[in-house]
Amino acid sequence: MSYAARAVLLMGITVAVAYPASAISRVSAGSRTCAALRQTINNQGAVIVTHPGSRQSGTLYDRYVQDSNYCDAGDVATDDWVPAKDGSCRLYNCQTYEPPFDN
């Protein structure tokens, strides 16, 4: 296989692998019920959820996941609460795992 053919093949593989990471959906917590938010996350595995900040600083963008399988190595899915259309909604976001104590 020629050098040019290898380069094209490698570029194609790189694009194919990188594309799914950039295709994450973005949804607004305030326009969906908690059940709808959870269903979207369960269907897609991970979603960017926008919601108002605790201060008047504007909108927050956080990545919420179905479970720890959608987190990076060393991270775990932890509880977080966002304001959904029908009240406060418990979702999971990834945080670095910290053992409860050192040995």
- β-strand 59-65 against 75-84: which pairing, if any? unpaired
Stretch 8-31: mean pLDDT: 69
Higher-scoring residue by pLDDT: 17, 50: 50
Q: Is 29 inside a domain boundary? A: yes
**Nearest partner of 39 among 47, 51, 31, judged by Cα:** 47
pTM over 0.85: no
Overall average pLDDT of the 78-91 stretch: 95
How many domains, the chain?
Answer: 1
Residue 77, in any domain of the structure: yes
Q: Could you list the residue range(s) of the whole structural domain that residue 40 is in?
A: 24-96
Residue 11 lies inside a defined structural domain of this protein: no
How many C-beta atoms surround the C-beta of residue 75 within 10 A?
Answer: 15
Contacts of 71 (CB under 8 A, 6+ apart): 65, 77, 94
Which of these, 63, 33, 39, 68, lies nearest to 49 by C-alpha position? Answer: 63
Residue 19 confidence (pLDDT): 46
Summarize the confidence of residues 78-96 as an average pLDDT.
95
Question: Does the structure show a pLDDT above 50 at 18?
Answer: no
